[in-house]
Chain A
């Protein structure tokens, strides 16, 4: 068995940035465990640009962004062990990992940072009736075939779901010579970034059908087509609106779910909305010394915010190891439903400003977003437009709440 001060699970931007900030905050003995053969996480296959506008003030591709994170990391004596999959974490912070080189090994850690990222939802979760042919891929899998391996999953494509990966793949498949016939979105609005709708669909004349879903899959061996239908407000297909579209490929971009099997094995509870752990402003979970950041905590749209969250977690882990992590209160942060969730979910210290990240549950125009401490407005920001696809934040200013505060609430107020 090995003993390490800080183990970071996952070497995407969250994990790499956490390692750098933990080292800079004084932790010397750091180990990153990554199951892939390279660092970088999902960014490796995101060869489009649009990364790093906030953090580096320029437009990078995913691999370029990952490379910058890695270059900073490689300057430091942080141990990186790739091709190693963590299979278990105990509540006592004992990690089980497996690799060809070292077999199954146990690693004891003073602190752990969870940075495992997220995965895509599969078709099963949707229960689309019909046959079960080949040619149905999650958008991310198709992205891997095209961008990493140089192969086309098909030539005539329908995309279900208008999440960012689906939008990006609509453009990619078109550029690679395929025809994208339709993007169907069951909600009345797209879950993707506005810039992606413009640059990936509109610029290529790819139709986006809102309030539409795939209601049947056709084809014995390879998919031969789909039936799409319009849906009502309850998202039930409306009879009579069925339309057949011939295609040889169906890409699913129907949502991302944080990869929290390990968190669960450690005994952590998951937030039913974010599907990630409950954390405080330090990104510390319900187990002391276990932190979480990046897409494993809540799904981000921008890598910049992932890096920032990694840094918070890294610095906090350093403080924890030195026994200097401040906790003076325990105030839950709740939302009003119009705001779907906010992270952190708990505030344990308010001597500094805290950014409360949130997502709206629907589209809102000309609203005020308020932070209330026991009903009293402590911060308020006007928003011209709020959409579920774009994560936002609002500050909880230093000393806005005390240990006597019962509840912090992030909510929407009509102007």
Chain B
């Protein structure tokens, strides 16, 4: 039996796992997908929000500020890319200026420092490519960017290094409340017992709550589509640029990413299907039109990919973090700014349990540090040469677009949480993420995965078990045809 079972290996579940690993607890994370960070955590804007726009007094506002204050240190401990680049909310008229002043006032209520309304000239100094129609901006110096799936992977990897178990391909189907414990039924597996259950199941958190008998809220998906441009376009802007927000969210943004790409999006389309991550032509058109209103001459010909994420919009309008029955904690409706708030959400969950009489004893051997898989790329030439001498696989570049070496790929396959798929390697190392999108290196990476895991190459998948890459040997079907 586990002391704690966390359902969901997104950034929220991951941060909670890492926080709880500080205590003497037997912990397990259950994740339905074949890898961590496959939900909202892998497809979002990657912004550590300043925290000025969440409604003053809400849980979102409280945890956003707290999380964004913690983020830089956490990223340092976990070796995750983070950059405080500052953000600008753009206005095009005097009316927009009033809206910006309103947001600033709200931000001050939230305790956010470094907010300022600036005029066209200052904006132009900060962002030379800004479009001519921009008149005003709210400047937030605390805005930052982070690698969201990198953060989740690192948090979970670090938790695992500290003893937490991760069970992938474990979809929770039923939860039975027994006396002082829960029985969790998982697809095709023996059921799992836990004293405490944390529901961090993202878009499915309402259904997981329902399994335990809590039907007090629901969560619906709101699609957000993106276009990602090559690193060559990464310096078109240096700050994160937003437009004045609407009821549906923060509007389209234009931002550099921590890896130097340029990201455009997201759209905001409400839906019902929790698996619909299709991108649509209308979405692309909207992103292109709105980003053009913000920034001049965006080099769309440098587009390398597009993708879609689903926001978990909760029915209460705020984060839903509560304990509907003793030992069962909901962490639901974690839409934006959930990534920014995630370290604070983890602390809040522990506080919630402690305030309800749970007593956890701290371990004295908790290690908060994790070495990044990407560390090689940040080394000096001398350090690199030393490492190549010790381990020649670091001298072999596999992904030529992003300059990722065999050593880094092997490290991603060997360190917690271990990459087992092409997409898993991609998110951990950036190999296949560049301009050629894996055209050159994916066959080679398949060979590495196959060798390391001891499986035939046809069994290497892109992501899920059904997402096979090779259908068999050549000429197999010639005679049957």
Contact = CB atoms under 8 A, between A and B. Distances in A.
**A, B in one complex:** yes
Interface string A165-205: 00000000001111100000000000000000000000000
A281 interface: no
Nearest to A153: B470
Contact of B392 (A101, A119, A175): A101
Interface string A227-260: 0000000000000000000001100000000000
B386 to A, nearest CB: 8
A134 B469 contact: yes
B275 A248 contact: no
A221 interface: yes
Contacts of A130: 278-279
B392 A85 contact: no
Interface string B383-412: 011001100111111001001000000000
Nearest to B397: A85
A239 B138 CA distance: 42
A99 interface: yes
B443 A145 contact: yes
Contacts of B480: 177
A216 to B, nearest CB: 8
A104, A129, A215: residue with the most chain B Cβ atoms closer than 10 Å:
A129
Interface string A293-324: 00000000000000000000000000000000
A100 B439 contact: no
Interface stretch (B166-174, B304-312, B347-355): B304-312
A383 B394 CA distance: 54
A195 to B, nearest CB: 24
A68 interface: no
B307 A132 contact: yes
Interface string B431-464: 0000111111011000000000000011001111
Nearest to B283: A129
Give the interface SS of chain A, mostly helix, strand, loop or mixed: mixed
B466 A129 contact: no
Task: Name the interface size band of chain A.
Answer: 35 or more
B190 interface: no
Contacts of A134: 461-463, 467-469
B365 to A, nearest CB: 37
Contacts of B397: 35, 85, 87, 98
Contact of B304 (A124, A137, A216): A124
Contacts of A98: 388, 395, 397
A199 B277 CA distance: 40
Interface in A82-123: 83, 85, 87, 98-104, 119-120, 122-123
B227 interface: yes
B303 A127 contact: yes
B188 interface: no
A141 B467 contact: no
A40 interface: no
A177 B478 contact: yes
B280 interface: yes
A177 B279 contact: no
Given A141-B443, A151-B472, A221-B466, A127 B227 contact: yes
Contacts of B283: 129
Contacts of B227: 127
B281 interface: yes
A397 interface: no
A102 B381 CA distance: 13
B252 interface: no
A240 to B, nearest CB: 15
Contacts of B471: 152-155, 248-249
A137 B457 CA distance: 16
Which 10 residue pairs of A and B lie closest in terms of their CB atoms, listed nearest first? Answer: A177-B477, A100-B395, A221-B466, A134-B462, A100-B392, A122-B437, A124-B305, A134-B467, A124-B304, A177-B478
Interface of A: 35, 83, 85, 87, 98-104, 119-120, 122-125, 127, 129-135, 137-138, 140-141, 144-146, 148-155, 175-179, 215-216, 220-222, 248-249
